[in-house]
Amino acid sequence: MDKAGFEMHKERPPSASTKTERTKQERPKRHWSLINVFLVCLLACALTTVMGVLILSAIYASNTGFKAEPKREVSIKKREVVSREAPSSKPCQMQADPKFQFLHQHTKSEKHEFPGGIIQWSRFRRNANEYQNKEEMEFGRSINAQRSKMSFGTMLIKSQGLRVPHWHFNANEHGYLLKGTAWIGVVDAGGNTVTTYIVTSGQVIFFPRNTLHWLKNIGAEDCLFLLFFTTHEELQTLDVDDAFFSTPEDIAARSLKPKGGVDFIRTFQKQAEDQAINLPPNLAELVQNANYRQSEDKLVYRYFFDLKGSAEFTYPGGIIQWARYVKSGKGLKPNEKMYSEFLHSKEDSLTLGTLRIYSSALRQPHFHFNANEMGYVISGCGKVGVILSSGRATDFSIGVGDVVFFPVGTQHYIKSTCDEDLLLLLAFTTGNQLETLDMDDYIRATADHILAQLFFKPQEEFKNIPTFSSDQAINVPDHGINY
């Protein structure tokens, strides 16, 4: 029955009126409503997407303070990856001339002014926004990427000004007094030994890492110090006044035990202006009895070297003088030997020297096996050339106040191009004897047949390169020969 009934219902054709009614009311109505819904949804999605893109674009374009994600800079050691903020100024984002890896125009750097003087820097800065321009950034990042263990600064101290007692957490300090007269103080560990001495122009001072020291201008003219620090990171320094005012009053009172206790400590007033180089306007009222004593030689000559009065190493084209360690001690005066041995006992100490190149003379191409080199132009002008390990070369002019940097193993030369001598103060990152190889030495040391094969020239032609009885490290041009 069920099946028959089903079959009968299925086979019975619908009436015409019923078919027409369904066609009009059911099928068309259901078909077009789905299409309409689909089209409306599709249109809504499209409009929403377009509007969203336009809104985001407008926000992005109008937001002038937008900052890109900090760039990541990979150091020369693969495991050391340091994230540094990308510079926000347009000049720093542009690529600098490659020569600024080796050159910094120090006199154009920012002047950090204090009541008693001025400090300027050639150094690495972790915050890229602290660089004044792309050239300064190129130099700072170069000395850091090379792990150079070098930074440089000039410090001008006005008459009676004081570089307040301080110490450096992460660097030894080597200084050269270019002009003026200063009284130096150094406090050894424990405070039992205080070494004080007077320095004049042309002399070297040395302060090991974490050694408290001060520098006081006791002359009528400004003192100008050229300072090298053995770090390629930011220099970390603490001044005694900053340490004092950061110490709780009760702790300071219990440590110093002054009359009046904590009430006396509270009479100290921190100055609004940074006192790194201090010079109070009422100094005459504050100080009535200044004693600039000189300690005994055995103490002084650990921290002091008379570079100007040291032995001169003469060459046809100039003179070099050294403040350095000499393993055998040969050629050193007794006082110089004290300095040499003390220097050698400290980690990351520097070799200092002055290089005088006569007018038109050349410090021939050479490189150093065991040290980075940094130099400051004291007088004259010249041309420098640098050859990288890739064989790529760059050259540039230098003048008074410029700082140059040559990574270890990098061949370089320096030529004097002015009518006056070119004079530089040089620092090398070694407390051992400096190891150097000049171009004429390595060419002569190479067999003629090797040179012939290398340069595609007949072996006999290499006899045109002469051998001299005197060292030609700084040489002069031969008359009548085209250079």
Residues 94-151 pLDDT 10s = 688 999 999 999 999 999 999 999 999 999 999 999 999 999 999 999 999 999 999 9
| Mean pLDDT, all residues of the chain | 87
β-strands 103-105, 402-406 pairing: antiparallel
**Per the structure block, which two tokens stand in for 290?**
């200044």
**Average pLDDT score over residue span 20-28:** 45
SS3 call for 438: strand
For the segment 414-448, what is each residue's pLDDT rounded down to a tens digit? 999 999 999 999 999 999 999 999 999 999 999 99
Segment 144-178, tens digit of pLDDT: 999 999 999 999 999 999 999 999 999 999 999 99
The verdict on pTM exceeding 0.85 is no
Q: What is the side-by-side strand order in the sheet with 103-105?
A: 103-105, 402-406, 373-379, 422-428, 351-357, 318-323, 313-315
Whether residue 133 is contained in a domain is answered as yes
Is residue 203 a part of any domain in this protein? yes
14 inside domain: no
The reply to whether 230 falls in a domain is yes
| Structural domain that includes position 397 | 85-436
Structure tokens at 272: 């609004």
Residue partners of 118: CB distance under 8 A and separation at least 6: 111, 112, 155, 156, 277
For residue 249, tell me if it sits in a domain: yes
Q: Find the farthest-apart pair of alpha carbons in the chain and give their distance in angstroms, rounded.
A: 134
On the 0-12 / 13-18 / 19+ scale of CB atoms within 10 A, 38 is exposed
Tally of domains in the chain = 1
Q: Evaluate whether residue 444 is within a structural domain.
A: no
Residue 94 CA, chain-centre distance (Å), reads 19
- Which has the closest alpha carbon to 72: 80, 64, 81, 63? 81
Model confidence band, residue 55 (pLDDT cutoffs 50, 70, 90): low
Quick one: which of 158, 156, 204, 209 has its CA closest to 184? Answer: 204
Would you say residue 101 lies in a domain? Answer: yes
Mean pLDDT of 255-274: 97
Which CATH number goes with the domain that contains 246? 2.60.120.10
Token readout for 465 is 């390169």
Phi and psi at 279, nearest 5°, equal -160, 85
Residue 421 domain-assigned?
yes
And the tokens for 187?
């406090």
> What does the DSSP 8-state code read for residue 88?
-
Using CB atoms within 10 A of its CB, is residue 330 exposed (0-12), middle (13-18) or buried (19+)? exposed
Q: Do residues 175 and 307 touch, judged by C-beta distance below 8 A? A: no
